Structure 1
Amino acid sequence: MIQAFKTLSVIVSAVLISHPLLADDAHKSQTWTFTDKDHGWIAYRDCSLSLKDNSLQVKSTGKDPHFGRDLKASGGWKKIRIRLRSPQRLRGELYWKTQKNNSYADKRSQKFDTRMAPKKWQDLVLVFKADSDLTGLRIDPASRKALIEIESISLENSEAPRSASATPVDQIKLLKDFKIELLYSVPTDEQGSWVSMTIDPKGRLIASDQYGALYRITPAKIGSNTNDTQVEKLPVDMGMAHGLLYAFDSLYAVVNGGKERPSGLYRLKDTNGDDQFDEVKFLREIKGAGEHGPHAIILSPDKKSLYIAAGNHTDLPKPEKSLVPRNWDEDLLLPRLWDARGHAAGKLAPGGWICRTDPDGKEFEVVSIGFRNEYDIAFNPEGELFTYDADMEWDVGSPWYRPTRVNHATSGSEFGWRSGTGKWPDYYPDSLPAVVNIGQGSPTGIVFGTGAKFPAKYQDALFISDWSYGIIYAVHMKPQGASYVATYEKFASATPLPVTDLVVNPVDGAFYFTIGGRRTQSGLYRITYTGNESTAPVEPTPDALAGLRELRRDLEEFHGQQGENIVYSVWPYLGHQDRHIRYAARIALEHQPVEQWQNCVLLEKDPAKLITAGIALARNGKPSFKTPLLNRLKSLDWNALTANQKMDLLRLYQLVFVRLGEPTESERKNVLAQINKAYPAQNSFMNRELSRVLVYLNAPKVIERTLELQNKALTQEEQIHYAKVLSSLAAGWNDDLRKKYFNWYVKSTAHKGGMSFNKFLVNIRAEAIKTLSDQEKEMLKPILEVNLEKSAPVVKGPPRPFVKKWTVSELLDAANNDKIQRNFERGREMFAATSCFKCHRFAGEGGTIGPDLTGAGGRFNAQNLLESIIEPSKVISDQYASTMFILDDGRVVNGRVINLSGKNLMVLTDMTNPSNLTVVNRDTIDEMLPSKSSMMPTGLIDTLTKEEALDLLAYLRSGGKTDHELFQKKK
């Protein structure tokens, strides 16, 4: 059956019916083929048109290319088909003009998005309504230099599309004892696509169209007919808001407007009591636009100030104050490569930010920085601030990829986003880690369940939205030290369900959310609890760790302040065992004049305090303190330091060299004397940081050791890291090392990743080629000429031989009767040999397409683990379930929707190749069914011996801990 909510988009495959050219007959179809010059299409701007091989060659030459033609056609619903091909993905727009409105405008346009298929013809089909006789068409094919070949263009009459509807509730999976209602399907052509919401004092919702106006919704009362929901367009010149908040008898809007309306903070008031906003004040400009522009606004816990979040394409709004020391920088020891496809190229620290301001927007204060694109923020009942930050999905498969993650945005915090390859790993001590990593996705609205008439567990939960995968997660926090850790579960999900914002209505205690964005079908939903558990408001209960959080907050009181005794007050906590307390103490220290405490660093004897204080000095001191600081650090006994202290010391050396200056030859030797023998280490992340510093210092035999690590590395991320750090090293090579290094790039063609992945490898190799002499280039010519983007994958080594078709019962019986000490390293090797690292993250390593398996051993017994490996389709996790799309041309597409654009669903069909997506037109879908097959392939362990399989099982059960009892000698 045809789904009611389908809309039109790019058709994956279609057959064109040829029609004769009838340009003077306004009521018949028209088709333009390109066998001769008399086709009537004209290049208007930034492009050129020519004919070749019976196709129109459209060469885009600038930033705003478009071409078109005048014509005559009747009004009403029209369908245009364009058969084209292009080496690049096209994100363009179709415009039309009519007798009534004889000019091209955004109001008479429709966006389109094609897939990447350089050699294949594809058919673009768009349906639109002309308000009177059609007089012209204009096509804007791409916003960058490209060549588009068009075989034909046809225009014909069409029926009106079926009434658009948001995703029906019977297709939404929801936790037991919760009820969901679709209150309103937004008519896209009239009311756009809603991306933000707030609640007014009467319990009404106010929503904003991403590209249009504001709407006020009076939801139907709980238990009544949902059709009683009332929607009105607010008669005020305001909209395009990514953030809305009703507070201080005002409606605040954070506008993400670009050219149409200045982006920034606005305040709307009803000055005459007629229940309409009649006053609009522009309080503060916030320079930024687009999907990484200014976003959410929320009220502070004390209800005295406002908090605003913005993405990494948004400038700080000239803040008057800052809890973050204003000395942020890139802090990259080795050269950075910008994104291989140009995204965020040139964007520098601080990245995305959170500020707070007064009700009039007069004084802004920076609270937290270093985000990629956090869309929303929320306070828990304790007054702690959280956000859900975005990943860079194009980086999947690379060592600098960071999954979407929930962050505890404490005072003065930094989360280390840097553009391109420069993103900081979360173990850097000058940043803070995530509360929990979620994986791939597109974060949008978040809210705590505070005030909802839900069971206690869900009142305490942080609800977060994943727009691309169509999921609302419930994140359950657990205090750990001065911060939190968390687990999460899927609360609601569907395909598609592009969730944009979440709110809890204090008037009725219900949970509301919207879907929409990027001109996708929008809707408003309500979730209520129908079970038997108590929904009485949860009273805060003190926990054993509350004192540590209180200590952290006491230290944070010094942020942004200066005082004679602050140094003495915070110094004892620089070596605290809790990372968040060390961080809070250091930030307080950095707010004090460096002259007050710089000599104290050099006198400090405790290694933990010395390293933390040294980081502060490196970030704030003058170059004259480089030598004294290095002389003090050389006395530290490397072997006496803990693993965390070693990692922090390596980062400290990086900051010294970046901020205070290059080491002298004697200083270089002193550092090498301390750390050189530690490389290689047992820990892969320790090796990553050692390799950075040792390559920078050109340590003896660093190339040989690094290439050996690269050869043994079990994950592509680790291999790429070593290729990257060596790419800038010019000295210390010989012919054999050069050949070994550049041959790795040929082998790297077997690796897969996101959209930027292959181009990154090309660019890293290009940087390495710059260090070659002409003679070396000639010697390596056959290797260097290999096209990494187009050559067939080179598989490393022969395939493992088939051993047997293992069953769950066989290996479970062997595991239950196992008396042998298991081998951790071999278990890790088998995790790689069975390609698990390609899709799954484990102990911080590997991919993110599948679930993180680090905690699997704590949640599942041996039988569960073996079943998931050997019989992956027996029980499929809702979080990673795929969908079977049955299309109207008879084809079946099986995969996970990972992105949307207008009317397109981008479907991942192969977990091992995340950049290869299939575009499915929602209007070509006859039926969508939950797939009964897991995307995880079967037979992965059939090449393992029994001992190898048992080591793999032990590795999974250990959570990556080498000291797990399974790896100890059996008594």
Structure 2
Amino acid sequence: RGPGLYRLQDLDGDDRFEKIDRIIPMTGGGEHGPHAIIPGPDGRLYLCAGNQTDLPEKIDRSRVPRHWSEDHMLGRMPDARGFMANRLAPGGFILSFKPDGSDVELVSTGFRNQYDIAFNPLGDLFTYDADMEWDIGTPWYRPTRVNHVISGAEFGWRNGTGKWPEYFADSFGAVANIGYGSPTGITFGTRAKFPAKFQNALFISDWSYGVVYAVHLEPEGASYKSTFEPFISASPMPVTDLLIHPEQGCMYMTIGGRKTQSALYRIRYTGSESTQPASFPDNEPAKTARAARRQLEAMHTPGASLDITAAMRHLGSPDRALRSAARLALEHFDSKLWRDPVQQALPAQSAITMAVALSRKGTPADQADIQNSLLRLDWSKLNNTQRLELLRAYQLSFLRLGQGDPAVRQKIVAQLDSHFPVADGDSLVDRELARVLIYLNAPKIVDRCVAQMNGSNSAEQQIHYAFCLREAQQGWTPQTRKAYFQWFYDIGTARGGASFGGFLENIRKVAIGNLEDEDKKELGELIGPLPAPKDPLADLAPRALVKQWTVEELSEKFAAKKGGFNYERGKQMFAVAQCYKCHRFAGQGGIQGPDLTASSQRFSTKDMLTAILEPNKEISDQYEATVFQTEEETVIGRVANLNGDNLMIATNMLDPGNFTNLKRSDIVDMKPSKVSMMPSGLLDTLSEDEIFDLLVYLQSGGNPKSDRYASITPAR
């Protein structure tokens, strides 16, 4: 009968299947193949499939406009280890269909490997998508994340370096970025005999790290905002699936996979809080926005009529879900029906979203109108979200519609060039400006990108510039070439996932391949074989011990200081103290530890100092290590992967791609570690003023215009 989706029917109630039919032929298998099938609130079935699954040959209708592409300005490099190098868009997808397999509809695309899906009580669909752990440390790494699956959305998985950042205007981002892990089963707590908070939670499973998270969703506009917390964790605990028993109200959880020990658990609430059925949280503005979104989504199906008034009204919405739904509605219809407003002076957000839609749906004849509509916009009046979407609109206008008029290209350079690097230090806007300006051969852009590459405290940001510059053919000087290739030696302390080093090597190879013979001779040994990577802690060696600081001493002195804090030095100290290696802050850094961008909203200055100076005092379950005892050795770390009897243990958060391998059968004892994975003494090489600048940098959320910098003094 061949591979596909089968329906098995027991026609006479004897617990035997008399009728077996293949209702949807499908190809794809393994761990990135077809996954969960669930009933939807509309009486249809919904199926999710990972990125090793081909779309069925017969799709009756698609909510996703069927003109997807790779859409990479400056190209894409495949994974350095060759993984899925030939898998192209649309990636993983979600289908819906009638129970007999008819009326197959494509709902959403662009996933990596979403193992399960679930509807909330308001009828909205969610999934938990996988990261590519080999990308850790690169600017294209995307953590495991919870997605609100709106109609027709594209979530931007592409192979290798091509993964779209979540801010791309033609994608739809995450409602929660979780971190490292291996997503498996998910379920809402609906009908659970749990306290109200957990009845309304989305429970998501992480197979690798043995955690079930509770994600608390709150309607915000036409989508949601969220917080999340560990609900259950153990090591190892390879969770595979979850469900709520509709009558008992208990949670059932299975573990196993890859020849690991399987088991079935039941989780019950035994506390004193009320477990009476609770309503899902909602609010009137969100109800209105959801209704508007669903009105727009009704245009995502064949036979619908285009309501141009509704679509145009929401193209400029500050609500991303509404403007995405409006854009997708337009893209389902012939662009001749809706393109005319592009010639008018539209409000900024409307002009940008219209440009994205027409670039994707239109023809080369539309390019001049699209680009002129964007040239009318005043950069200084755009917020950073609009700037990012403007830059993506320009990218799509070239990628989809061609090289364009040289005179218009020069006007675009004139509009954008003076803003790189951006005054407010937004690293993401700088990334996209660099991408577009290198593509357009802006004057001196190579000089500026090399300077930014060598001046950034973030390895991710540096790698982005190196990646973009690899294809730059014009604007080089002997000095910038030497600085560029010297960087590959200087970045040697950085660490990442399994493909990290290979990506850097391949970027360098492409750049060397673009050199003229004369340039190669001049660079000499700089383009020869690279030395072996250095110890990731070696960059701390030049800093001498200043003092073994205490919380009490620093708290008192900081409270007495009235001002004069320096933003740039605080940012520098965040790197010197190695915070970037484990923590994200203002969109940059690692994700082994918690994101610190909003830390000042949770911690007082004293709490912050305690967390840094005394990391063992309180250890979150989410980041707790385990002590593994064998007859031969003691290993402290977190389980990063399992395969049969083998455990891969991450022991050094500063070197996340380096594992210690243990056999489960060799382990004689396991217990939670009382020692934090975060090293102590990270501030002992900093002076008092450097620590204070670091604290205020954390309190500012990375914003140089924060009130904390009312009076900024020069770096001392």
TM-score by length of 2: 0.96
Return the offset for 1:669: 0.7
State which of 661, 684, 688 in structure 1 corresponds to 2:402.
Answer: 661
Q: Residues 797 and 745 from structure 1, CA distance in 2 versus in 1: closer, same or farther, beyond 3 angstroms?
A: farther
> In the TM superposition, what whole-angstrom CA distance separates every residue of 1:243-301 from its partner, at most 9, and x where no partner exists?
xxxxxxxxxxxxxxxxxx94421111212221233332211122111111101111101
1:747–1:795 CA contact under 8 A, matched in 2: no
State which of 455, 459, 473 in structure 2 corresponds to 1:712.
Answer: 455
Tell me, yes or no, if structure 1 residue 626 matches structure 2 residue 370: no
Looking at CA atoms only, which structure, 1 or 2, has the larger radius of gyration? 1
Tell me, yes or no, if structure 1 residue 940 matches structure 2 residue 687: no
Amino acid at match of 2:109: I
Residue 587 of structure 2 is matched in structure 1 by 844
Residue 5 of structure 1 is matched in structure 2 by none
Return the offset for 1:795: 5.9
Residue 435 of structure 1 is matched in structure 2 by 175
Tell me, yes or no, if structure 1 residue 685 matches structure 2 residue 428: yes
Residue 299 of structure 2 is matched in structure 1 by 558
Amino acid at match of 1:746: Y
Q: Distance in 2 between the 1:475 and 1:487 partners? A: 6
Tell me, yes or no, if structure 1 residue 699 matches structure 2 residue 439: no
Amino acid at match of 2:143: P
SS of aligned partner of 1:516: strand
Residue 378 of structure 1 is matched in structure 2 by 118
Return the offset for 1:785: 1.6
Q: Distance in 1 between the 2:15 and 2:270 partners? A: 34
Return the offset for 1:397: 0.4
> In the TM superposition, what whole-angstrom CA distance separates every residue of 1:365-386 from its partner, at most 9, and x where no partner exists?
1111111110000001001110
SS of aligned partner of 2:268: strand
Return the offset for 1:792: 7.1
1:465–1:471 CA contact under 8 A, matched in 2: yes
> In the TM superposition, what whole-angstrom CA distance separates every residue of 1:37-62 from its partner, at most 9, and x where no partner exists?
xxxxxxxxxxxxxxxxxxxxxxxxxx
Q: Distance in 2 between the 1:828 and 1:790 partners? A: 25
1:339–1:419 CA contact under 8 A, matched in 2: yes
Question: Which stretch of structure 1 is more off in the superposition, 426-435 or 859-868?
Answer: 859-868
Amino acid at match of 2:431: R
SS of aligned partner of 1:582: helix
Return the offset for 1:343: 1.0
Tell me, yes or no, if structure 1 residue 912 matches structure 2 residue 651: no
State which of 45, 53, 57 in structure 2 corresponds to 1:314.
Answer: 53
Q: Residues 834 and 262 from structure 1, CA distance in 2 versus in 1: closer, same or farther, beyond 3 angstroms?
A: farther
State which of 905, 915, 923 in structure 1 corresponds to 2:665.
Answer: 923
Return the offset for 1:628: 2.6
2:61–2:302 CA contact under 8 A, matched in 1: no
> In the TM superposition, what whole-angstrom CA distance separates every residue of 1:560-598 from its partner, at most 9, and x where no partner exists?
245555222211111111111111111111111111112
State which of 215, 219, 236 in structure 2 corresponds to 1:479.
Answer: 219
1:84-103 matches, within 5 Å, as none
State which of 340, 345, 350 in structure 2 corresponds to 1:599.
Answer: 340
Q: Distance in 2 between the 1:725 and 1:540 partners? A: 46
Amino acid at match of 2:397: V
Percent identity, please: 51
> In the TM superposition, what whole-angstrom CA distance separates every residue of 1:783-832 from its partner, at most 9, and x where no partner exists?
22233556777966972232211100011112322311533332222111
Question: Which of the two has greater helix per residue?
Answer: 2
Q: Distance in 1 between the 2:679 and 2:281 partners? A: 46
1:821–1:967 CA contact under 8 A, matched in 2: yes
Q: Distance in 1 between the 2:524 and 2:3 partners? A: 52
Q: Residues 796 and 334 from structure 1, CA distance in 2 versus in 1: closer, same or farther, beyond 3 angstroms?
A: farther
> In the TM superposition, what whole-angstrom CA distance separates every residue of 1:506-530 from its partner, at most 9, and x where no partner exists?
1221110100111211111110111
2:536–2:654 CA contact under 8 A, matched in 1: no
Amino acid at match of 1:829: Q
SS of aligned partner of 2:191: coil
Q: Distance in 1 between the 2:620 and 2:701 partners? A: 19
Amino acid at match of 1:892: T
Q: Distance in 1 between the 2:386 and 2:468 partners? A: 22
Q: Distance in 2 between the 1:389 and 1:781 partners? A: 45
1:623–1:660 CA contact under 8 A, matched in 2: yes
User: What do you get for the CA RMSD once the two structures are aligned?
Assistant: 1.7
2:536–2:655 CA contact under 8 A, matched in 1: no
SS of aligned partner of 1:956: helix
Residue 509 of structure 1 is matched in structure 2 by 249
Amino acid at match of 1:611: I
Amino acid at match of 2:111: F
> In the TM superposition, what whole-angstrom CA distance separates every residue of 1:340-373 from its partner, at most 9, and x where no partner exists?
0111111111111111011011221111111111
1:416–1:423 CA contact under 8 A, matched in 2: yes
2:73–2:399 CA contact under 8 A, matched in 1: yes
1:184-223 matches, within 5 Å, as none
Tell me, yes or no, if structure 1 residue 894 matches structure 2 residue 636: yes
2:200–2:280 CA contact under 8 A, matched in 1: no
Residue 24 of structure 2 is matched in structure 1 by 284
Q: Distance in 2 between the 1:559 and 1:604 partners? A: 27
Amino acid at match of 2:558: A
Residue 344 of structure 1 is matched in structure 2 by 84
Q: Distance in 1 between the 2:677 and 2:537 partners? A: 24
Tell me, yes or no, if structure 1 residue 725 matches structure 2 residue 464: no
Question: Which stretch of structure 1 is more off in the superposition, 825-834 or 626-635?
Answer: 626-635
Q: Distance in 1 between the 2:325 and 2:358 partners? A: 15
Q: Distance in 2 between the 1:632 and 1:956 partners? A: 39
1:562–1:591 CA contact under 8 A, matched in 2: no
- In structure 1, runs of 5+ residues without a counterpart are 1-260
Return the offset for 1:338: 0.3
Amino acid at match of 1:646: R
1:594–1:620 CA contact under 8 A, matched in 2: yes
Q: Distance in 2 between the 1:961 and 1:484 partners? A: 25
1:471–1:493 CA contact under 8 A, matched in 2: yes
1:298–1:308 CA contact under 8 A, matched in 2: yes
State which of 548, 561, 586 in structure 2 corresponds to 1:805.
Answer: 548
2:306–2:330 CA contact under 8 A, matched in 1: no
Residue 612 of structure 2 is matched in structure 1 by 869
Q: Residues 780 and 421 from structure 1, CA distance in 2 versus in 1: closer, same or farther, beyond 3 angstroms?
A: same
SS of aligned partner of 1:414: coil
Q: Distance in 2 between the 1:466 and 1:541 partners? A: 26
SS of aligned partner of 2:294: helix
Tell me, yes or no, if structure 1 residue 399 matches structure 2 residue 142: no
Tell me, yes or no, if structure 1 residue 576 matches structure 2 residue 317: yes
Residue 648 of structure 1 is matched in structure 2 by 389
Question: Which of the two has greater strand per residue?
Answer: 1
Return the offset for 1:547: 1.7
Q: Give aligned pairs, total.
A: 708
TM-score by length of 1: 0.71
1:247-396 matches, within 5 Å, as 262-302=2-42, 304-318=43-57, 319-396=59-136
1:368–1:411 CA contact under 8 A, matched in 2: yes
Q: Distance in 1 between the 2:615 and 2:534 partners? A: 32
SS of aligned partner of 1:558: helix
Question: Which stretch of structure 1 is more off in the superposition, 597-606 or 537-546?
Answer: 537-546
1:730–1:771 CA contact under 8 A, matched in 2: yes
Q: Distance in 1 between the 2:140 and 2:363 partners? A: 30
Q: Distance in 1 between the 2:215 and 2:179 partners? A: 13
Residue 328 of structure 2 is matched in structure 1 by 587
Q: Distance in 2 between the 1:859 and 1:798 partners? A: 33
Q: Distance in 2 between the 1:658 and 1:816 partners? A: 54
1:615–1:652 CA contact under 8 A, matched in 2: yes
Amino acid at match of 1:601: V
> In the TM superposition, what whole-angstrom CA distance separates every residue of 1:50-93 from its partner, at most 9, and x where no partner exists?
xxxxxxxxxxxxxxxxxxxxxxxxxxxxxxxxxxxxxxxxxxxx
Q: Residues 666 and 967 from structure 1, CA distance in 2 versus in 1: closer, same or farther, beyond 3 angstroms?
A: same
Tell me, yes or no, if structure 1 residue 526 matches structure 2 residue 266: yes
Q: Residues 866 and 954 from structure 1, CA distance in 2 versus in 1: closer, same or farther, beyond 3 angstroms?
A: same
Return the offset for 1:773: 0.9
1:451–1:506 CA contact under 8 A, matched in 2: yes
Tell me, yes or no, if structure 1 residue 448 matches structure 2 residue 191: no
Q: Distance in 2 between the 1:728 and 1:874 partners? A: 49
Q: Residues 905 and 835 from structure 1, CA distance in 2 versus in 1: closer, same or farther, beyond 3 angstroms?
A: same
Return the offset for 1:963: 4.0
